[in-house]
Structure 1
Amino acid sequence: MSDASRTFLFLVGDGMGDWPMDELGGKTALQAAHTPNMDRLAGLGLTGLCRTVPDTMPPGSDVANMALMGFDPIVHHTGRGPIEAAAQGLELGENDLVFRLNLVTVSEFSADGVMRDYSSGHIKTEDATALLEKLSTELADLMGDDFEFYPGVQYRHLLVARDAADGPLSDLFTNPPHDILDQPIVNDITEFEEYPELHAVLKKAAEILASPDNPTKANALWPWGQGRPLILPPFVQTYGMRGAVISAVDLVKGLGRAAGMRVMDIEGATGLLDTNYEGKVQAALDFINGGGELVFLHVEAPDECGHGGVASEKVESIERFDKRIVGPLMDALWESNAAFLLGCDHFTPIAERTHTKDPIPFVLAWKGCENPSGVAEYSEAAAASTGLMIDPGFELIGWALTESGLREKKK
C-alpha cells in the first residue's frame, strides 16, 4: 500500500443536512440515524460548518460540489449542463451552449401544467436512452443542426445548442425541476415560449411521449442549467495530490474529469439507496493501493431521499452511508494515519424537498489530532456549537489538507 500518511479521504453524503422534524421527535435525519462511525470521527477530530454556496448563486449540487472540490464557483462555474458534458467527454465548440436535460413527468406540458416528478419515476437508463433515440429521429426536422440530444444516466441527459452561447438562448432561465415539485410550471412554459425554436422541439416531444407506446412515466423534456463548456485548473497542480472521484452521477464525475482527476466508474452505482456501496469502497482502496493520494467519494442517495420527502428513507440512506462507506474505510485506513474529511454538499430538507443554502456540517479527523472539537456526534447542531466556520466553502479542502499535515502551512 502507498504511504497512507499521504492519503486523504473526502466522504460526501449528498444532501444529508436537514432541519429538525416533528416526525423524528424534533431531530434532523442525521441526529435520528444510527451513525456510530461518523460520530466517532466527530469525537476524534475538528467539527464545524462550511458555507458551500455563495450568496449570489443558487444552492445547486453543481455549485456546492465544485466548492467542495476546492474551486471557486464564482470564478469557474458556467452552468450545470457543461459539468455533465465534461463527464461524458463531449467534444464541444467554445460557443456551444450545453443544457442539463431531464426526462420529467408533468400533469401536462402547458401553462396549466404542474411538475409531478423530476425523475420520471427514476426511469431506467436503458428506457431513457431508447426514448431519446426515438425523439432524435422523430424531431430531426425541427432540431436540424441547431440542437442535439446526448443520453446520460437515468433521467439525467444533455441538450447541446450549437454556436448558441452568444445568442438569446444563453439568457433562458427555467427552474431546476427538483425545485418545483408539485408546483405550477406556468412561469417556465412562458419562458420556453420566448424561444420559439426550442419551444417547438419541447412541445412536439411532449406529444410524442404521450403515445401509448411509451411504457415509462416520462412525458416531457426539461432543459435547464445551460452554459459554455467548463474549464478547471488541474487538481494536482492546485493541491499537490493525485486525486480520484468516485460517484454515480455525471455532475460529480464531470467536475473530476475537468480537473484532471481519475474518474472511476463503479458497476451498480445508481445514485439511489440500492447503489453499490461496497464497490465504491473497493475502488477507493484500489486507487490508494496503486499510489493514489486523495479520494473524493460521493453518495447521492441522501439527496434523492430528501427530494422524495420521506424522512424514514433519508434516515436509512444516512445509516447505509455510515455503515457501508465510512465504517469500512475507517477500518481499512484509520490506523495507517489517513485523514478523513466528512460532509455534505448542501441541505436537502424533507420539508422543502429541494436544496437550501444552510452551511453544511463537516468533520476533519486523523489519528493524532491533538485538539479535537469535543463533540459527541456528527450533526448540524454539533457542528454549529463549535464556532468553527469555513467561508468561502472552496477553501475547505485546502484548509483540511493543511490542518491534517498533508500540506505545509503558508508562511
Structure 2
Amino acid sequence: MDITEIWEDLAWDQGGRIVYLVLDGLGGIPHPDHHLTELQAANTPNLDALAKESSCGLLEIVGPGITPGSGPGHLTLFGYDPLKYRIGRGVLSALGIDFELQPGDVAARANFASFSDKGMVSDRRAGRIGTDLNERLVQKICDRVSLDFDGTFFFETVSEHRAVLVLRGDDLSGAVQDTDPQSTDRPPNLPKATAEEGEKTAVLIQSFLRQVSDVLADEHPANGVLLRGFERFEPLPSLQERFALNGVCIADYPMYRGVSRLVGMDVMPRPGGLAERFDTLADIYGDDHDFYFIHVKKTDSLGEDADFDRKVAKLEQVDQLLPKITDLNPDVLVVTADHSTPATIGRHSWHPVPVMLKAKHARVDRVDRFDDYACAEGMLGRRPGTHLMGLALANAGRMQKYGA
C-alpha cells in the first residue's frame, strides 16, 4: 500500500476548502548574464508576502533526474502516483476539448508541422498556425483519409497548431512510438509498435500518416502532422472517490482541462484571459466545491520559447492578481508548479519546483521570498510531489486520525 492509498482510507467529506494555483513550468535556473532565476528576477511582493506566512519547500514531481510531462506533473499534484497512473497526452487532449472518449479508444496528440522537400521536420508547430487554418486542414483530412479496419477514427481541432487523433475499434493499443522527433532538421520517427499488442494500431497510424502527407502536400506552412502521446483510454478513480473532494478546474488550455476531467473535476467555461480566471474563482468560491484548481499556462510556454524577460513579466502579472485569491482567505492555499521550464534551457527540465502552502495550522518558516533557492530552506524541505495532496488534505482538516 502506498501513502496515497492511506489518504483514501482517512479522507472524509468535511473540513475546509483547498485552492491550488499552479504556475505551469514555474521553476528555473540562473540566467548566465545575471545569475538569477525568473522568480528571483521578478518583482513579486505579493508572492513574497505569502511566503512569509507559509510553509515552503521544493517538490520532485516524478523523481530525481526525471523530466515530467505536464500530464504526469498535474496528476502528481492531485495525489495520483504518476508511475502508477500513466496517461498519454492524447487522452488528455481529447478530454480537454470535451471529446466523449469511450473505454478502449486510443488517442494521440497531433501537431501540424512543416516538412522540407527532403522530409525533414523544419518546424514542429508549423509557425503556430491559427485555429481557423487548423479547422480547415482538419476538415480536409477527415474528408479525404480513410482507414481499412472494423472501426472509425476522429481527427479534431484543439487550437492553433494542435489537434487530436482518436481511433475507436477492437484490439487497439497505445503501445506505439511517437512520430514527433522533438527537434528540427530530423525526419519524423516511424510509428512502430513498442509491444506486440500495438502492431495493429501502428499499421493504422502508418496508413493515416501516409494519406495525410498526400492530402497536405500542397499546403504551406502546415504540410504534415506529428503524433505523440498514444494512449488507450481507461477511466481513473475520481478525486471524490479517492479523497472525498468535489473539485473544479479553471483553465484555458485543453490538456489541463482534460486532466481535470479525467480525475472527475467540474470544468468551468474557458475564462479567456489571465485576469478572468482569477475573477472566475472569486465568482464561484464558496459554492458546492471544496477543491479549486487554477492553471496559468504562459509561464511554461514563455519558458519553452526561451524568453526569460517575458516569463519574468508574466510572473509579475500573476503577482499583481494574487490578492484576488488571498482576499478569499481559503483554508488552504497552495502555489506551485507541475514541472520546471527554465528559459535558459527552453524546455521542461528535471529541476524540483518551489511550493508554498498557507493554512491556519501550517508551520510558518523563515522563508521570506518565493523563489527556487529560498524555498529550499523551508519547513517542507525537498519531498515527492505526491506528498502535496496529503499535506493539503491534512491542513484543511479533511483527514481522520490514523490508527487507535
Residue 294 of structure 2: SS of its match in structure 1?
strand
- Deviation digits for residues 92-117 of structure 1 (CA, Å, limit 9, x no counterpart): 4433211111222344572xx13524
CA distance in 1, matches of 2:114, 2:43: 34
The match for 2:47 is: 38
Q: Does residue 20 of structure 1 match 2:13?
A: no
* Aligned residue number for residue 323 of structure 2: 327
Paired residue for 2:131, among 125, 135, 149?
Answer: 125
CA drift of 1:154 comes to 2.5
Decide which of 331, 347, 350 is 1:338's aligned counterpart: 331
Task: Give the equivalent residue in structure 2 for 1:307.
Answer: 304
Equivalent position of 1:185 in the other structure:
186
CA distance in 2, matches of 1:284, 1:190: 42
CA distance in 2: counterparts of 1:21 and 1:232, whole angstroms: 40
Measured in 2, the distance between the counterparts of 1:207 and 1:280 equals: 41
Letter in 2 for 1:298: H
2:179, 2:386 → 1: CA distance? Answer: 25
SS at structure 2 position matched to 1:104: strand
- Do 2:28 and 2:340's aligned partners in 1 also have CA atoms closer than 8 Å? yes
- Per the alignment, residue 271 of structure 1 pairs with none
Structure 1 segment 107-122 matched on structure 2, within 5 A: 107=116, 110=119, 113-118=120-125, 120-122=126-128
1:185 maps to a residue whose letter is R
1:398 paired with 2:393, answer: no
Aligned to 1:248: 252
Cα distance between partner residues in 1 of 2:345 and 2:211? 32
Give the aligned residue type for 1:11: L
Shift of 1:243: 1.3
Name the SS of the counterpart of 1:53 in structure 2: coil
| TM-score relative to the length of structure 2 | 0.85
Confirm whether residue 72 of structure 1 aligns to residue 81 of structure 2.
Answer: yes
Long gaps (5+) in structure 1: 269-275
Which of the residues 158, 165, 184 maps onto 2:164? 158
Alignment check: 8 A CA contact 1:232 1:259 kept: yes
What is the aligned partner in structure 2 of residue 237 from structure 1? 241
Give the match's secondary structure for 2:91: helix
CA distance in 2, matches of 1:385, 1:229: 41
Find the residue that maps to 2:376 and give its secondary structure: helix
Which one is further off, 284-293 or 36-45?
284-293
After the TM superposition, which residues 4-403 of structure 1 pair with which residues of structure 2 at under 5 Å, given as runs? Answer: 6-23=16-33, 25-54=34-63, 59-107=68-116, 110=119, 113-118=120-125, 120-140=126-146, 145-163=151-169, 166=172, 170-174=174-178, 180-181=182-183, 183-186=184-187, 188-189=189-190, 195=202, 197-211=204-218, 217-268=221-272, 276-324=273-321, 326-330=322-326, 332-334=327-329, 338-366=331-359, 368-369=360-361, 371-386=363-378, 388-389=380-381, 391-403=383-395
Q: CA deviation at 1:239?
A: 2.2
Q: Distance in 2 between matches of 1:68 and 1:205?
A: 37
How far off its partner does 1:13 sit? Answer: 0.6
Cα separation, 2, equivalents of 1:156 and 1:108:
23
The 1:387–1:231 alpha-carbon spacing in structure 2 relative to 1, beyond 3 Å, is: same
TM-score, normalising length: structure 1: 0.84
Aligned-pair distance for 1:227?
0.8
8 Å CA contact 2:56, 2:355 repeated in 1: yes
Counterpart secondary structure, 2:226? strand
Give, in whole Å, the separation in 1 of the partners of 2:263 and 2:17: 19
Q: Is the 8 A contact 2:52 2:368 kept in 1?
A: yes
1:299-358 CA distances to partner (integer Å, 9 max, x unpaired)?
Answer: 11011101111111111221222223x23211x213xx5321000110112232211122
> Kindly tell me: are residues 263 and 137 of structure 1, through their superposed partners in 2, closer, same or farther at Cα, counting changes over 3 Å?
same
Shift of 1:12: 0.5
Where does structure 2 lack aligned partners over 5 or more consecutive residues?
A: 1-14, 194-198
Task: Report the Cα distance in structure 1 between the residues aligned to 2:170 and 2:65, rounded to whole angstroms.
Answer: 25
Q: CA RMSD in A?
A: 2.8
Paired residues of 2:56 and 2:381 also in contact (CA < 8 A): no
1:63 partner SS: helix
Give the percent of matched residue pairs that are identical in Structure 1 and Structure 2: 26
Paired amino acid for 1:262:
D
Contact kept? 2:179, 2:226, Cα under 8 Å = no
Contact 1:48 1:362 in 2 (8 A): yes
Closer/same/farther in 2, CA of residues 40 and 405 from structure 1, 3 Å limit: farther
Note the alpha carbon deviations across 1:103-148, whole angstroms, 9 max, x for none.
22344572xx135243x33333232122101111122367995532
- The one-letter amino acid paired with 2:368 is A
Cα deviation for residue 31 of structure 1 reads 0.8
Aligned letter for 2:205? Answer: L
Query: What's the CA shift for 1:238?
Result: 2.1
User: Residue 334 of structure 2: SS of its match in structure 1?
Assistant: strand
State whether residues 299 and 314 of structure 2, in contact with CA within 8 Å, keep that contact through their aligned partners in structure 1: yes
Q: CA deviation at 1:150?
A: 2.0
Return the alpha-carbon distance in structure 2 between the equivalents of residues 56 and 90 of structure 1.
34
Cα distance change on mapping 1:230 and 1:42 into 2, 3 Å: farther
- d(CA) in 2 for partners of 1:296 and 1:409? 26
> Structure 1 residue 283: deviation in Å?
1.6
| Cα drift, residue 87 of structure 1 | 2.9
Identify the range of structure 1 (202-211 vs 14-23) with the bigger mean alpha-carbon deviation.
202-211
- Alpha-carbon distance in structure 1 between the residues aligned to 2:78 and 2:106: 24
